[in-house]
Structure 1
Amino acid sequence: MASHALRSPGTRRRIRLDEHLPMDHRLSKVYRVGAGLMGLFLLAFGILGLLGTGQHSVLGLGSNSALAILSICVGVLLFVGMVAGGNFASTLNMVFGILFLLSGFLNLGLLDSNYNFLNFGIQNVLFSFVVGLLLMVFGMYGRVGSTLPHDNPYWRARHPEAAEWEQRAAQDQARSEGS
């Protein structure tokens, strides 16, 4: 019988992930690159939006000073995630990915209304969807999936009994090879 079936129905085991992946862990590189690329684009868009006062379009996207300032703020936050790396960058990417998707849906409903204070056009909505999906992919990379390798910290956190068994088997094998 599986160990999860032995627990009482009212108890939930909290998954504790390593709070900090090693700096050279390959997953951290993916989270950092994702946050950095999106942050760089948003920063450039925001700066060009502020410099192009009087223009309502920057890089083919609708813009105004409010959207430019918001883009700069989000770009800076994504850069902070890039510098921090690890689980923080992954979680930040996922959160901003969800926020971009929600923003796309919200602004899609506000396109032809007086409440469109960010000067969104359909191209901005599509951009919001694409950036949201990209950030979510970057954030979830290596964190979710059915074929995560067993040395993955997220697989180990979700399967502590199997991870412990594998670790003991590897130690036993190392001892038998050393003898």
Structure 2
Amino acid sequence: MAHIPLNHPARPIYRVLAGLIGLYILVFGVWGTARTLGDPLFDRGGAWVLGLRTNLAFALVSVVFGAFLLVGASRRGNLGHYMNLTAGVVFLVTGILMMSVLQTSANFLSFSMSTVVVSMLFGLILLSTGLYDKVGPTDHAEKGQHDRCHPVADQHRS
């Protein structure tokens, strides 16, 4: 973890980006829940909401995950950092797994290829935001910045 920058100057931008993704997922989940309410939980027909196919189960999971991301984006400490890293990995793994079962009966979340692409894109963005929004003491951040800018000079001091 020595290469993860502390107190990155663009940290507020990354938090806003993660918050916007969380807001999109929350709106998608609420709208998807309203559209699929009354359908079977794992219906494979799928309704289309905001350009993505969903069923009631996926919509409910999206509400929880969207709220999770909004909480992470609103935290000033390292909680948001770890939440974004975790969410990024979850989105990437989910996208890959659901793509592998896209045309089978195992597609229980009623994913479409557009949903897979959005999941992968959100995963990459959240992973990136998680890598750049770590907070630490100023002296650790300055030492890390110095080590990144002068890696060879420090090796000769040892």
Whether the TM-score (by the shorter chain) exceeds 0.5 is yes
Structure 2 residue corresponding to 1:58, chosen from 42, 49, 57:
49
Q: Please tell me whether the aligned partners of residues 30 and 141 of structure 1 are also in contact (alpha carbons under 8 angstroms).
A: no
Aligned to 1:102: 93
Which TM-score applies when normalising by structure 2? 0.72
Write the distance in 2 (CA, Å) between the matches of 1:81 and 1:71. Answer: 15
- 2:66 counterpart of 1:78: no
Write the distance in 2 (CA, Å) between the matches of 1:31 and 1:154. Answer: 20
Between structure 1 and structure 2, the one with the greater Rg is 1
Identity %: 35
Write the distance in 2 (CA, Å) between the matches of 1:115 and 1:154. Answer: 50
Write the distance in 2 (CA, Å) between the matches of 1:38 and 1:111. Answer: 23
**SS at structure 1 position matched to 2:107:** coil
RMSD of the TM alignment (CA)? 3.1
Give, in angstroms, the shift of residue 85 of structure 1.
2.6
Aligned to 1:177: none
Which TM-score applies when normalising by structure 1? 0.64
Aligned to 1:111: 102
In structure 2, the gaps of 5 or more residues are 40-45, 151-158
**SS at structure 1 position matched to 2:78:** helix
Aligned to 1:89: 80
Greater relative CO, 1 or 2 (CA 8 Å, sep 6+)? 2
Amino acid at match of 2:141: P
**SS at structure 2 position matched to 1:116:** coil
**SS at structure 2 position matched to 1:117:** coil
Aligned to 1:153: 141
Write the distance in 1 (CA, Å) between the matches of 2:145 and 2:9. Answer: 17
In structure 1, the gaps of 5 or more residues are 1-13, 144-149, 163-179
Write the distance in 1 (CA, Å) between the matches of 2:20 and 2:98. Answer: 23
Q: Please tell me whether the aligned partners of residues 31 and 93 of structure 1 are also in contact (alpha carbons under 8 angstroms).
A: no
